[in-house]
Amino acid sequence: MNILVVDDEKDVKTLFEQRFRKEIRDHEIDFAFAFSGEEALDYLNQHLHQAVLILSDINMPGMSGLELLDRIKKKYDTPPPIVMMLTAYGDADNFNMAKSLGADDFLTKPVDFTNLKEKIKNF
Amino acid sequence: MKKRLLSFLICIGCIQGLGQSKSSVQVAAQCDSILRLLLSEKDAIKKADLNLAFYSASIDGFPLQLISLSQKLLDASKKNNDRFLESAGLSAAAQGYRLTGNYVKALEYHSNAVALAEATGNKVLTGFAINQLGHIYKDRYQNEKALSVYKESQQYFKAAGREDIWYPEMNQGVVFYNMGNYDSALYYTTKVINNIGKVQNNSNLAVIYSTLGGLYSQKGNIDSVKKYFNLALDHANKVKSARYLSTTYWAIAEHFKQNKQFDSSASYFKKAVDIVAGSEMNNLVLNPAKELTSYYQNINADSAVKYWKVYSAANDSVNSIRINQQIQMLTFEDEQRKKDIEHAKTAYQNKLRTGILIGGLSAILLIALLLYRNNLQKQTTNKALQKTLADLKSTQAQLIQSEKMASLGELTAGIAHEIQNPLNFVNNFSEINKELLQELNEAIINADTEEAKSLITDLINNEQKINQHGKRADSIVKGMLQHSRKSTGQKVPVDINAVCDECLRLSYHGMRAKDKSFNATFETHFYEALPKINILQQEIGRVIINLCSNAFYEVNKKRKTAGNNYQPMVSITTSLWGNQGIEIKIHDNGLGIPQSIIDKIFQPFFTTKPTGEGTGLGLSMSYDIITKSHNGKLQVTSQENTGTSFTINLPFQNA
């Protein structure tokens, strides 16, 4: 299972790699990391259909997570990748906006990794 | 020669007494027509001339006509309430009384006439009235007084521009003659004769000629004596006035007496007496009768007694003690009246002066009051202004504080985000470490050394992350506290790059938190070897946050209207400012500032933001912080639709 994580905080990579240490070691999940929306689009252009799940932060300099979501859902419609939004701002505006743009799920930071693992397993 | 003159004089003397009543009637008729003109005349100057015309018409040869004229004038004056006519009437009456020897009444009337004339303001009338008054003193040989009165009269005519009226000069000539001052008498009388020129019919010529005759007699100029006495008789006869004839005879008699021709002298004295004796002008017999008394004294006792009686009767009527006293009293009263007038004038002038003085003082007082009031107003205004200034200062202080709080409010969300992120990492890594430690425990139990080593490496890395993010949160909280705290005024060495980075992030996240649709990229171009610089950290921080927030606001505004190709971008660059300091440049690619307002942006309360979004104090405070507190420079360059750059220059020596 390929998962693309998009966040401007570089330490997110370390965090995920440690949290999913076993899954990575057992090759259950392959992680790719992008540190901005633009990087994420570049990655998707190069690795079409390889990412089945995208986890994206919303607050990022440059292209925001919501913009990225919009572009992904418009560009890759068959089949559209699953996009889960991760944000520190769990307010209704952000939530509704994400949902209306086609986000498949909406998680607030700090990430509850036990919960996240459950969700990933169910996809 | 003397015989011829004598016979000539006698010859002329023979015709006297003929047609006197006829001439008197002519004079009366002439005066009546003058009176009619006078009563219908309105012009004051012409009225004065008409009044003089009565006397040119020889009315004062006939005292009874004068009394009658005065009655008519006084009646008319009462009817018309006309002071001019009243004065003229009184003068006429007075002249009548004078000629009939009633000097007391004459003086009384003259005085009143003068007072009334003065009241009319008619100078010719006044001059005339005064001239007439002079006759009383002239007749009574109060020569000095007479001269001063005539002089006064002359001055009135002069003031009226009527120096052609020669009565005062003529009378002064007579007075000087009476005084024995023949040179002066000749001077005045000749002057009159020269001036009189055309007025050949004036009855006064009899008086003038007889005066001249007398004068030349004194000088021994027999030819002139003859000439002027003949002329005098000629004119006296023309009007057939007993008065003029009597005075002329008298003058001739004096001439003969002077030349010791006593018989001739006596015969002329007799003529002088006879023509007026028993008439209303009986007073004129006085001097001739006295002369005749002394003439007959040694010749004819009866005649001497007769003339003494004539003289004595006249003298009683004219010169009694009682009359003299009355004259003196009236003169005194007249002088008193003049003094009163003078006094009133002086009093009036004093009053006027006092009035002017009081007026001046009042004006000065008024001005002083106005100035005082002005001053009071100014003081009040000043107080009001000082209060307003104090209010403004306190308002300004409040505004500055509220600007600080407003920018803090803007940043709160950003700060929350900035703290939340590191805290998340701290929590996440510490949770991981908990798991890793359990795994490590298992590895040790299983004696899996490789696994244990790997776990320990991860644990160490994670601890570093925890520590790093904890410090990051710490520094943000400290920065926030510094931002809200009032300036301590302590400059401390600061890493400008760190401050810029933190402020840029704070303002970015602040914008982000406030406006969900906001998005922009930011870049930092830090000069790594930038030395620390002594600054007021929170102040400079506030400036950078302010400039960054403005930059983000601008690019966000442009993003809303620009197309999809627009990439909002804010960058912050640090560099050395030559060798004197450091430079911070904050650039945005927003809409730019129009040239029309670029000069105003540092002014307090100038803002382009909608009401409620900006206080208009941010840039003006920033400007003050950089230029006043740090001796630096804050400059702006902008191109419309391309972007704006704010450049801060901070000198190392900025104390």
Complex confidence, ipTM? 0.83
Instruction: Please report, for the domain that includes residue A83, its CATH number.
Output: 3.40.50.2300
Predicted local confidence at residue B342, as pLDDT: 83
Predicted local confidence at residue B10, as pLDDT: 37
For residue B216, give the nearest of B260, B183, B257 by alpha carbon: B183
Predicted local confidence at residue B443, as pLDDT: 92
Element holding A43 (H helix, E strand): helix A37-46
| Angstroms from B610 CA to nearest CA on chain A | 24
Predicted local confidence at residue B13, as pLDDT: 37
pLDDT tens profile A27-76: 889 999 999 888 998 988 888 666 678 999 987 877 888 889 998 888 87
Paired strand residues for B535: B492
Residues of A in contact with B429 (CB under 8 A): 15, 18
Judge whether B381 is closer than 8 Å to chain A, CB to CB. no
Predicted local confidence at residue A119, as pLDDT: 87
Domains of chain B with CATH codes: 20-165 (1.25.40.10), 246-317 (1.25.40), 336-481 (no CATH), 489-651 (3.30.565.10)
Asked whether the beta carbons of residue B424 and residue A18 sit closer than 8 angstroms, the reply is no
For residue B84, give the nearest of B50, B47, B57 by alpha carbon: B47
By C-alpha distance, the chain A residue nearest B567 is: A62
Judge whether A13 is closer than 8 Å to chain B, CB to CB. no
| Angstroms from B424 CA to nearest CA on chain A | 5
For residue B597, give the nearest of B544, B640, B645, B562 by alpha carbon: B640
What strands, in cross-sheet order, belong to the sheet with B643-651? B521-525, B569-577, B581-588, B643-651, B633-639
| Angstroms from B465 CA to nearest CA on chain A | 8
Q: Is B651 helix (H, G, I), strand (E, B) or coil?
A: strand
Element holding B202 (H helix, E strand): none
Distance between CA B7 and CA B1 in Å, rounded?
Answer: 10
In the block, tokens 């009597």 appear at: B246
Predicted local confidence at residue B506, as pLDDT: 82
Per the structure, the count of domains in chain A is 1
Per the structure, the complete domain to which residue A48 belongs is given by 2-122
* Token pair for A83: 């996009």
Residues of A in contact with B519 (CB under 8 A): 62-64, 67
Predicted local confidence at residue B372, as pLDDT: 94
Judge whether B155 is closer than 8 Å to chain A, CB to CB. no
Judge whether B514 is closer than 8 Å to chain A, CB to CB. no
Name the residue facing B425 among A11, A62, A67 (closest C-beta).
A11
For residue B242, give the nearest of B277, B289, B210, B212 by alpha carbon: B277
Question: Is the pTM for the entire model greater than 0.80?
Answer: no
Name the residue facing B508 among A11, A19, A61 (closest C-beta).
A61
Task: List phi, psi (to 5°) of B487.
Answer: -60, 135
Average pLDDT, consecutive stretches of 10 residues, N- to C-terminus, chain B (655 residues): 40 38 75 90 88 84 87 89 91 89 87 90 92 91 92 92 87 91 89 70 77 88 88 84 88 90 90 85 85 87 86 80 75 78 86 92 94 92 90 80 67 70 88 91 91 91 91 76 64 90 84 76 92 89 90 89 86 92 94 86 76 72 89 92 93 82
Task: List phi, psi (to 5°) of B527.
Answer: -80, 110
Name the residue facing A9 among B421, B512, B521 (closest C-beta).
B421
Distance between CA B210 and CA B215 in Å, rounded?
Answer: 8
Predicted local confidence at residue B92, as pLDDT: 92
Q: Between chain A and chain B, how many beta carbons pairs sit less than 8 Å apart? A: 53
Distance between CA B131 and CA B110 in Å, rounded?
Answer: 10
